Each structure stands twice: as structure tokens, then as C-alpha cells.
Amino acid sequence: MSAEAAVIAVAVAIYLFDCVVLLERGQGLLEAMWAPLFPRMRIAFGSRNYQIRGKAVALLNPFTPFIPVFRTLPLFSGPGSSDVKVSTAAQAVMRVSVLSLGQLVLVFVALPYCLYRAPGWPFFLALVFAYLNAIAMLGFICWRFHSAGLAKRPLIALGFAWLACLPLSVNCLRRAGLAFNIVIDARGAIRFLPASERQRARDDLAAQIAEAMHEVDEGDAMYRRLADLRQQLAPEAGHGRI
């Protein structure tokens, strides 16, 4: 493997690792709309079988870093002081979508092409543009967080990582959206989905709850709460209730 190919492979591996998100059982990832290509909201609950430290493993779509993603509250937990409304969260990061798409093209199209075909000034200029775009995204996100009244402390570590390791900057939009939870749990998030998608989401959530029940003692109060919620999500019982 050539040195150029090795550099690109490492960059892709770092980016894919950054696309991994850990979720509590029953916690969802709500993917916002991005008209006109992605006009519908979606929700995902991660893997049913793979866990890390007792949490479900979810993989963000590596081809859509320009679509905001938000994490719902864990089941049976109330909103905290740092949790935000869906509309506030969307307004804080949505306008960075175009810059995020540009960063994807710069880091994984322009830079690899220049590395192979034009390793001189064209590569240097592409690198400079990528860093300038990363700085612009960080500044814009900080400004939007300030305007929305959101805590900017999580952006300190994130911003340092984006500038220190350029492949991580491609995910800046989604990582900024995952810096907090939205104020609804997965049951509430399902209401944002098109009617045709809601039952599939209920089934996925019920499957996550079933896995969570295997991890709890049957005499525990949490087991009974999970069992009741799973019953509510059943098609014959759950229609119209969530």
C-alpha cells in the first residue's frame, strides 16, 4: 500500500469511528429532514445485538454528515436543565448543513484527488480551504448555540478535535447536535415520523425494550415498567397511543 493510500485509509477509519454512537436501551437517534433530498424525519435505535459498556451501538450514515441528528431522552427519564426542544436544536445546527456538505467534499474528494494527482500547490490550497471551512463551521455553531441559549462548553473539546484531526470536522454538524439530548424520549419522537413509518419505529423500539428486559431481573420494578411499555407498543394495543 502506498503512503497516499495509507493516509486516506486512516482518515476514513477515523471518520467511521466517529460515526459510532452509543445509546441507552430505548434511546433513539432522531434524524432531521433535509429537503428536497430527504423530506422525512427518521429514527433509529442502534443494534439489538452489539453493545459497548451496556449501551447499544448505532452507526451514523457516513454519507450524510450534513443532516442533523439528535439523541432522545432515555426511557422513563424526565428532561434535565441541559436538554433542549427539537425546534431549538434544529435551529442551532441546521444552517451549517451546506458547510458540512462542503467539508465532506473537501476532505474525502478534493484532498485525496489532489494527494494523488496534484500534490503541490493544489493540495495545499485544498487543505487550507478545508481548515478555513472547519473554523467557519465551529464559529457559526458557537454563534448559533449562543443565540439559542445553549451551553457552549461541549464545543470546546469538539472544536479542538475538529481542528486537530480534520476528518473529525466532517461530522461537526451531527456531533454538535449530539452534544445534548432533546426533551422528548423515543415514544414522543415517533410522533414526528410520517404515519407510514410509525409502526416500524414502534416495532424497533419494542425490540430494544425486549433486549433491555433480558438485562433486568424479573422482580425488579424496571422490568414491569418495560413490560408494560412493550405491551403498549404492540400493534393491536399501541395503535394511536404513541
> 23-60: string of b/e by CB count within 10 Å (b at 16+)?
bbbbbbbbbbbbeeeeeebbbbbbeeeebeeeebebeb
- pLDDT reading at 223 higher than 60: yes
Q: What is the pLDDT of residue 235?
A: 63
User: What span, in angstroms and rounded, lies between the C-alpha atoms of 113 and 106?
Assistant: 10
Specify the number of domains making up the chain: 1
pTM, two decimals, is: 0.85
CB 44 within 8 A of CB 51: no
Q: What is the pLDDT of residue 128?
A: 96
CB 164 within 8 A of CB 156: no
Q: What is the pLDDT of residue 133?
A: 96
Q: What residue numbers bound the domain in which 56 lies?
A: 3-238
User: What span, in angstroms and rounded, lies between the C-alpha atoms of 200 and 196?
Assistant: 8
Q: What is the pLDDT of residue 24?
A: 84
Using alpha carbons, list the distances in angstroms from residue 214 to 27, 196, 211: 17, 30, 5
Beta bridge partners of 73: 185
User: What span, in angstroms and rounded, lies between the C-alpha atoms of 91 and 109?
Assistant: 28
Digit-coded pLDDT (tens) for 128-179: 999 999 999 999 999 999 888 888 888 999 999 999 999 999 999 999 999 9
Residue by residue, DSSP assigns 173-230 as: HHHHHTTSEEEEEHHHHGGGS-HHHHHHHHHHHHHHHHHHHHTS-TTSHHHHHHHHHH
Digit-coded pLDDT (tens) for 47-62: 877 878 778 899 999 9
Digit-coded pLDDT (tens) for 4-40: 889 999 999 999 999 999 988 788 898 877 655 555 7
To the nearest whole number, what is the mean pLDDT of the chain? 86
